[in-house]
Each structure stands twice: as structure tokens, then as C-alpha cells.
Structure 1
Amino acid sequence: MYGYLVADESALDEAEKARYQQLYCGLCHALGTRYDLPSKIGLSYDMVFLVMLLGSLYEPAEDTGSERCAVHPMKEHAYCVSSSTDYAADVSVALAYHKLLDNWVDDRSISARAGMAALKRSYETARLRAPHACSAIERELARLGELERADSDRIDEAAACFGRALGEIFAWRDDFWAPQLRTFGLHLGGLIYLMDAACDYEHDSKQESYNPFIASGIDPAHARDAIANVAGAAADAFERLPLERDLHLMRSVVYAGIWTPYNRCYGTETESGDA
């Protein structure tokens, strides 16, 4: 379920694009220093959203630097890191490991099995560093697996599994903001799950794989209003948080960027005739 929490770069100015890239490079840097090279398989802009969200809410001190890497060997690039970056690196490893596990269980993918072996030690470390988040991921994905094996048509329940997992990931600290972060994660995670299922609908139909839209007999092309309601609940929970740093960047994710994969599959409201 990667590729949804990504900014709409057409709405960003050059300074914001540079900041976004620095945070991405910072996450890459943290994965390399806290873990190892294979752990960078978990690098994604989705987890940069987590860096921004927690960085904006808690305002941890940021460190900046520049370095060369395998992707940019000829030129140094700037990066920005904080304690929220370190936490996002831990979560990145956990999510990457479970994505590979899911691919192995579903398809018996040899590459997924090899990836799991490469990440095994890093995942064990991530479980020690972020036990609350990793426990939630394990618990909720196990429940989701049960629904999939039962070919459940309870689409809201399936979406809630990923929502609860993301809610616990967002609840970085057990403090005043944890309940609101859980609420935001619940709605946003449910939205990501629904959009991912909608975008995988055709592939899953051909492969006869589980998909909640198939199980419930719902055509995702006609589910835009229902998905938009979940998006609205996520946006409302987001706006209730006192965020300032990187706010415009995050809004470009929550209000626009997150719709990009769905719109690529089914067109915009105007194109699909829903306007």
C-alpha cells in the first residue's frame, strides 16, 4: 500500500520541493545509519508524510547535512533528520518486512522470500525500537489476513484493520495527542486500504485474488462518493491537529496527492461523469 501518501508536486513551490526532497533523503540517511543497505527497500515518500506529521506536531530539533550516496554518487545532496525521522525509519522497516511477507504468503514469490531474509535482522531491531507500532502492525495485519482467507465481504471491517494499524503508528507517544492521532490514522489508513483495493480491482479479478470490492460485489468505479466520505473524515481529523511546519506540504498529500492513483485508474470526477 505504497504510493498514496505522496505530495501533489504541482501545488508546491521550489522551496517546498527542496524541503520535501531533503526530508526524503533524511529518511534514506536514517535507514542507512540505523539499519543497513537492504533496509532501504522500505524507503518511500509515504513515510516522509509520517516524518512531517510528527515533526510538525512535536517539533523535535532537526539536523541537516549533505552526502553522496549510491543513487547520487557524483554530487552531494542535502538531507534533514530528527527523532521523527528515526521513528519513521523503524516503521519503514516494519512495513517493508510485512509487505514482503504478504507477497510470500499470497504468491510464494521467491524474491519476497529473499527480501524477508535480508530484512529479518533489521525487523527484529525495529521491533525493539518501536514495539508499540510493530505489535499493532502484526496484530491488525493478522486480523486482515483472517478476513481475506474467509473471503469476507465486510469491506469496512477490512479497511478498519489497516486504519487501526496506521492509527497506532501515528500515536508515537502516549500523550495528549495520541487519541487524535489514532483517529486521523484510522480514517487515513481506511482510505488508503480502499483506494489500494480499488486500484488492484482489475488485477485481483484476473488473478482470482481476494479484494473486498469483489467480495462485496461493489464496482470501485462507482464507489467514489463512499471513498470521498472517508477522505473527508481523514481531512477533518487532520485539520484538528495544531500543525504549522510543512502544513502546506501535508495538505497537498491529504487533499490531492492521495487521490492520484485512484484518479489514474478511474479518472477525475469530471472525466468519469460524476461531477
Structure 2
Amino acid sequence: MFGYVMIDKPELKVKDYYKYKAYYCGLCRMLKEKYGFLGQMTLTYDMTFAIVLLTSLYESDTALSKHHCIVHPVQKHEMLQNEITEYTAAMNVILAYYHFEDDWKDDKSLSGLAGSALLNRKVRNIIRQYPVQSDAIRNSLKQLQQYEAERATDIDLVSGCFGRLMEELFLYRKDHWEPTLRRLGFYLGKFIYLMDAYEDLPEDLKENRYNPLRSVCEQEDYEERCYQMMLMMMGECSAEFEKLPCLLDADILRNILYSGVWAKYNKIQKKRKEEREQNHDNGSL
């Protein structure tokens, strides 16, 4: 469900791109060091956004280093790490763990069983260290499972469940920024859920899988309705961001919130347009 909160590289300054990449590589290395290769495989762009945002907000001391890695074995790459990198790495892993658990419970997936077993000990430590976030993630995913079992059609209700999960991830500290960070995370989470449902709908229809958009996909205004819902969520999310005193890396953050999050949507639109044109051409032969 993750992978939508990314940069729009063509619209980003070169220096900002390399700094974002250094945060991303720093998270990748942290996952490898603390949680091993499987932990490293949970790496997401979404948590990189959380690092950049929280580092900017709290002006955290950040260490710059250069290292080789599997992806870049020849040339060393810059990596930025701080205390927030460690926090987001933990959130990344616990999200992956509960996803593995669900895969095993729902589909008897052997990869889900293996993944949850391999991460079990590490996750117990994360739960002890971050009990509030861990409970929120577990409870939200459990509620989502229930909605899925019920074939719930209330899009706002279901997406709001994932929004509540995301809002907890941004609460690195309990302070006066909590209400703003909660709303930012909530609306971003709803956007992510809606975008994921929108992208997955054709395959879900084919496989007869649950998707909250099934109930509206036959309506004439389906495409516009989906776009407006997602636009509204990002409008609310961006409005909350603008309340925060984020000066450091503000251009990176705005690039993500105002442009990058739409990269996947634009890609989907382009692909579906090409498919329609191809079907039209085939039909006219």
C-alpha cells in the first residue's frame, strides 16, 4: 500500500535530489544495520518523507557519511542519518511485520509466515520501545481486515482507518505540534489508501477481491470523483504542512506534497489512456 509519497525528480533541484537520496540511502543502511537484509527490503519512499519532514521540524542533528552498498558496490554514496532515521526504520519494520502476519492469516502465504517469523524478535523490541505506535498500527490493520471481511463500501470510513494509522507514525514527540502532525498524517493516509484502491481496482475486479471503490466504479463520474477525493485529501494534508515551521529542506517537502504524490496517478492515467487507444485501434481493424 506504500510507495506513493515520492519526489517529482524532474521538478527538483539537483542539490535537493541528492540530499533526498542521501536521506533515502541513510534509511536503507539503518534498516540493514538494525534489522538485517529482510528489514532492508521493507524500505519505502513514504518513510523517507517522514524523515525529511520530522528532521526539518525538529532541526535534528544529522550525520553525513559515505558507504558502499549492494545497489552501489563501486562508488560510495552519501547517507544522512539521525535519531529520526532510527525511529522511521522501526516504523517501517513493524508495518512490514503486520503485513506479513496478515498474508499468512488470510492467504496462508509461506512468504508471510517466513517474514513474520524472521522479524518476530526484532519487532518485540520495537513494540516495547514504541508501544503507542505499535498498538495503533495493529488496531488499524485489524479494523481494516474487518472492513474487508464485511465488504464495506463506505470509502470515507475505510480510508479513515488507514489515516488513523498514518497519523500515529508522525508523532515522533508529544508536543504542541501533535494536532497538526496528526491531521497531516491522517489526510496523507487517506490519500495513500484511496490511491492504492484506485490503482488496484482493475485487478481486484478481475480477481473478485475486495476494493471499496467497486461500489462506485460503474458510475459515470467515477474518474472525476476519485480525483476530487484524492485532491481534497492532499489539499488538507498540504494545508497542515504549511502550518509547520519547516524551513530546512522545504523545497523537497513541497515537491513531494504538491507534485510527487501525483506521479503514480499520472502514470496510471497515461497507461490507461494508451490501453484505451490500443483497444480502439484493434476494434477498428
Q: Shorter-chain-normalised TM-score: which range?
A: over 0.9
Displacement after TM superposition at 1:216 (Å): 4.9
Partners of 1:122 and 1:208 in 2: CA distance: 36
Displacement after TM superposition at 1:10 (Å): 0.8
Partners of 1:203 and 1:263 in 2: CA distance: 18
SS of residue in 2 equivalent to 1:3: coil
Contact 2:29 2:40 in 1 (8 A): no
Displacement after TM superposition at 1:71 (Å): 2.2
SS of residue in 2 equivalent to 1:78: strand
**Structure 2 counterpart of 1:246:** 249
**Structure 1 counterpart of 2:121:** 121
Displacement after TM superposition at 1:109 (Å): 2.4
Partners of 1:239 and 1:65 in 2: CA distance: 31
Per-residue deviation, residues 151-210 of structure 1 (Å, max 9, x unmatched): 011110100111011111111111111111001111110011001100000111111111
Displacement after TM superposition at 1:2 (Å): 1.6
**Structure 2 counterpart of 1:232:** 235
Contact 2:31 2:89 in 1 (8 A): yes
Whichever residue aligns with residue 169 of structure 2, its letter is: I
Identify which of 255, 258, 280 aligns with 1:255.
258
SS of residue in 2 equivalent to 1:172: coil
Per-residue deviation, residues 73-103 of structure 1 (Å, max 9, x unmatched): 2222111101111101110101111222333
**Structure 1 counterpart of 2:53:** 53
Deviating more after overlay: 211-220 vs 73-82: 211-220
**Structure 2 counterpart of 1:221:** 223
Matches within 5 A, 1:259-270: 259-267=262-270
SS of residue in 1 equivalent to 2:116: helix
| CA 209–84 in structure 1, closer or farther in 2 if over 3 Å, else same | same
Q: Which has the larger radius of gyration?
A: 2
Contact 2:62 2:81 in 1 (8 A): yes
Contact 2:166 2:186 in 1 (8 A): yes
**Structure 1 counterpart of 2:41:** 41
Partners of 1:87 and 1:145 in 2: CA distance: 26
Whichever residue aligns with residue 195 of structure 1, its letter is: M
Displacement after TM superposition at 1:106 (Å): 4.0
Total equivalences in the alignment: 270
Displacement after TM superposition at 1:112 (Å): 2.4
Once the two structures are aligned, what percentage of the paired residues are identical?
35
**Structure 2 counterpart of 1:28:** 28
Whichever residue aligns with residue 202 of structure 2, its letter is: E
Deviating 4+ runs (over 6 angstroms): none
**Structure 1 counterpart of 2:136:** 136
Contact 1:90 1:129 in 2 (8 A): no
SS of residue in 2 equivalent to 1:79: strand
> What's the TM-score, normalizing by structure 1?
0.92
Matches within 5 A, 1:143-222: 143-216=143-216, 220-222=222-224
| CA 259–200 in structure 1, closer or farther in 2 if over 3 Å, else same | same
| CA 18–55 in structure 1, closer or farther in 2 if over 3 Å, else same | same
Displacement after TM superposition at 1:217 (Å): 5.0
Displacement after TM superposition at 1:228 (Å): 1.1
Partners of 1:132 and 1:187 in 2: CA distance: 20
Partners of 2:218 and 2:131 in 1: CA distance: 37
Partners of 1:105 and 1:255 in 2: CA distance: 37
Displacement after TM superposition at 1:113 (Å): 2.2
Displacement after TM superposition at 1:35 (Å): 2.4
